[in-house]
Amino acid sequence: MTSVHEVQLPPADRSWRTILRRRPFTHHNRLVAAVVLVNLCFTGWWDDAGRVTALVVANLAVAALIRQQLVINLLFWLATSAPRHWPLRVRWTLGKVYHFGGIHVGAATCATAWFLVLTAVTTIQGAPPFTLALTWTIMAVLGTLFVLALPGLRAKHHDLFERSHRFGGWTVLVLFGVLAAVSNPVFLWPLALVVVSVALPWLRLRRVPVHIVSPSPHVALVSFDHGVTPFAGSSTTVSRNPLLEWHSFANVPAPGRSGFRLTISRAGDWTAKFIADQPSHVWVKGIPTAGVGNIDKLFTRVVWVATGSGIGPCLPHLLAGDTPSVLVWSTRNPRRTYGDELVEEILGVQPDAVVWDTESQGKPDLVALAYDACRRSGAEAVICISNKPTTWKVVEELEARGIPAYGAIWDS
């Protein structure tokens, strides 16, 4: 295996073009800004309650639909349909499709802002008491959801964020529907579309059996076989209490085999209890949904960089072999943690993988290892599946050296 000390990283590009790829100028934030700028074009409508209501409904619809699973899958299909002979610069940009959450954030923020304007206009114009009560109630809920979605609060109180957005979002839809019915029924149709969008995943809610193997107290390998074999690069949300919390994990289908697996590592109270309890059944809803791993289709060869249980999202792509790839996996004592069977399965399709045992070798420089893997293999891009600080570092440092790099952005 290559020693990290042998890898010589070229200096990072400090041009404006590279700086504008780093935080806070990510594609996610650019999309937020783009949605806000579009809305600013309509500021002349602020004193017309009907037009302001239309802007609220339009933004609510965009915010909800862009998070709909069918829409997400469509976006990924469109972006990854580009031929591999297209210029790398174009494919590099198309690979950022998973930043679509910026549209959700921008539209939800603008919907809240416009509803604040609507509340002021409705109050100034002296609307009937029932309409005023509905309007102020909706404004209070939207304001609460906006505050709880602020990055710092969301990260610190994620369970509260998730539950407030589920129940608060449903409350807003119901109350806004009533408000539209008594003031402007024409808006009931777009609201109905949003309701259908939100309800569709719940119509597929079901409790399914699972088989769990824990090679160590750190990880659970969960097998599903309930008539669904998802595509590589997709994820499934699971729950033990469907009204309170949901957790998304990458699906690991195996070629020629029905069903799929999830790799769940100890990363908090929910996962720790799941590994300890090993439930016989879990709840699932919706359909397998595309994720960042899908973008490997855009490139002739990729490097997968994973730490710990981040190997889970990489594994289906490694097994399928649709895109030639090289694996760099950093984890603590992989055989003891994940079991010989899983490690042998990985090495069976990636005999030249760089498997870095942090217990015996210490912490690696993943940027250097990824860069070296690209240089040796001729890979066009790197996909990193790790924790937030590591992912951001790998992505930003590699892109500063001219290598397209991708990883989760924790936007929800």
Helix intervals (H) in 1-128: 16-19, 27-40, 49-65, 69-79, 88-94, 101-124
Closest CA to 372 of 351, 352, 391: 352
Q: Please state the domain extents for the chain.
A: 16-202, 204-290, 291-407
Distance of CA 10 to CAs 5, 342, 398, Å?
A: 14, 35, 10
Q: Among the listed ranges 5-14, 56-65, 81-90, which one has the minimum average pLDDT value? A: 5-14
Q: Among the listed ranges 38-47, 191-200, 263-272, which one has the minimum average pLDDT value? A: 263-272
The pLDDT, as a whole number, for residue 60 is: 96
Closest CA to 270 of 237, 242, 247: 247
Q: Computed from CA positions of residues 104, 102, 160, 270, in that sequence, does the dihedral angle turn out positive or negative?
A: positive
Half-sphere exposure for 71 (CA within 13 Å, toward CB): 18
Judged against a pLDDT cut of 60, whether residue 3 lies above it is answered with: no
Which tens digit of pLDDT belongs to each residue from 273-331? 999 999 999 999 999 999 999 999 999 999 999 999 999 999 999 999 999 999 999 99
CATH of 204-290, one of 3.40.50.10800, 2.40.30.10, 2.60.40.10, 3.30.1310.10: 2.40.30.10
> What fold does the segment set 291-407 form as a domain?
Rossmann fold (3.40.50)
Q: How confident is the model at residue 1 (pLDDT cuts 50, 70, 90)?
A: very low
pTM above 0.75, yes or no: yes
What lies within 8 Å, CB to CB, of 69 at 6+ separation is 200, 201, 286, 287, 289
Judged against a pLDDT cut of 70, whether residue 176 lies above it is answered with: yes
Q: Computed from CA positions of residues 116, 118, 123, 127, in that sequence, does the dihedral angle turn out positive or negative?
A: negative
Q: How confident is the model at residue 381 (pLDDT cuts 50, 70, 90)?
A: very high
For 252, which DSSP code? B
Tokens read off for 257:
């085999």
Q: How confident is the model at residue 412 (pLDDT cuts 50, 70, 90)?
A: low
Closest CA to 263 of 226, 310, 230: 310
The pLDDT, as a whole number, for residue 2 is: 43
Task: Report the alpha-carbon distance of residue 389 to residue 307 in Å, rounded.
Answer: 12
Distance of CA 142 to CAs 29, 31, 275, Å?
A: 21, 21, 36
Judged against a pLDDT cut of 60, whether residue 350 lies above it is answered with: yes
